[in-house]
Amino acid sequence: MNTRREFLHKATLSSLAVSLPFSDSLAAFNSVQEDKVLRVAIMGLGSYGTRVAEAMKDCKRAKLVGVVSGTPSKIAAWQEKYGIPSKNCYNYENFDQIKDNPDIDAVYVITPNSLHKPYSIRVAKAGKHVICEKPMALNAEEAKEMVEVCKAAGVHLLVGYRMHFEAKTLEIVQRQRAGEFGKTLFFQGLSGFIIGDPSQWRLNKELAGGGAMMDIGIYSINGARYMLGEEPIWVTAQEVKTDPVKFKEGVDETITFQMGFPSGAVASCLSTYSLNNLDKFFLNGTKGFAEMQPSTGYGPIKAWTNKGPVDAEHITHQTTQMDEMAAILLDGKKSIIPVDGEEGWKDMVIVDAIYKAVKTGEKVKLG
């Protein structure tokens, strides 16, 4: 049965179509569509959750309306800062009650990696759309289960790939697809920084699922795929560890890895927690090249090709991400570079293969 809101929405569109010329009625329809706002709760109120919340202040299509945290003081602080009503505040024990809250559409899971799967599944079973921060899971098996549970629950699963909406990134991807660089045969991805506090969860195997690869290296994996426009068919990888005290067993410090693609293109990448100034993508083809540095940082991104600089306005990545995800969830918009659960699962298949290649020293075939 249609709700009163749906009835009024349809009636408004019908009256617009009768009273206005087609072009005007279409514009009015789009305006009505854009009035819809995605109401989001953030789960995990750490540093990145805060970054997303701040970015959402400037969103046109997404609004922060709820929080989930195990720390009462954080909930109180966020309530005051962002005007969040008490009825939209949850802890990890009572969180499942969110299913009875019609004022929340989606939950953005921004927890340590090992909690992505269990909490995303709880969100899905509560009937809410899932936005999960990358990496979406600890491995491909977990990622596939998340995809299947969300499908069964009839909710969307999106992964927090903010770079998929960044203007300069999209410009280079579209130029590559248009053939501007000729046949693209080489990609280089350098992803790394010097990690600080040795006691943080990112250096805890049980919480992070690994080390630099799970946090920063996945940008080069994902970047190679969307920059080359192909899926790899093999990987090789080598690990270097200079500080076994800080980087314990199962927590990778530095991994160099290579990927091969059906066209004959190859990718050469570095993932590390021990070097700064590495945020770089380089794409080379038979007719030209593209380079980005920084390529995945919070910005502004700098990009240029053999034809000169790539210009585009810098907008906070998470602001654009959340507005675009709102359009995906509310309007059925298709993103140029996918951000769905299948996309996240593909990255995890490659991560699994890289860890296997490190362990065995062999080329690991994919697909």
pLDDT digit string (tens) for 40-58?
999 999 999 999 999 999 9
**CB contact set of 271 (below 8 Å; sequence gap of 6+):** 191, 192, 212, 213, 216, 217, 220, 252, 254, 255, 256, 257
Give me the pLDDT at residue 18, please: 40
Give me the pLDDT at residue 345, please: 98
The residues of the chain scoring below 70 in pLDDT are 1-34
- Whole-structure pTM value: 0.90
Q: Decide: 165 and 318 in contact? Cβ < 8 Å.
A: no
Mean model confidence pLDDT for the chain: 93
3-state secondary structure of 363: coil
- Cα within 13 Å of Cα(83), Cβ side: 4
- Written as one string, the DSSP assignment of 180-201 is TT-SEEEEEEEEE-----TTSG
CA angle at residue 318 from 340 to 112, to 5 degrees? Answer: 70
Residue 355: exposure state from Cβ atoms within 10 A (0-12, 13-18, ≥19): buried
Sheet arrangement for strand 234-240: 308-309, 303-305, 289-292, 280-285, 184-192, 266-272, 254-260, 234-240, 364-365
Give me the pLDDT at residue 35, please: 76
Q: Decide: 49 and 82 in contact? Cβ < 8 Å.
A: no
Give me the pLDDT at residue 34, please: 55
Report, as residue numbers or ranges, the catalytic residues.
134, 219
Q: Decide: 349 and 217 in contact? Cβ < 8 Å.
A: no
Helix (H) or strand (E) holding 245: none
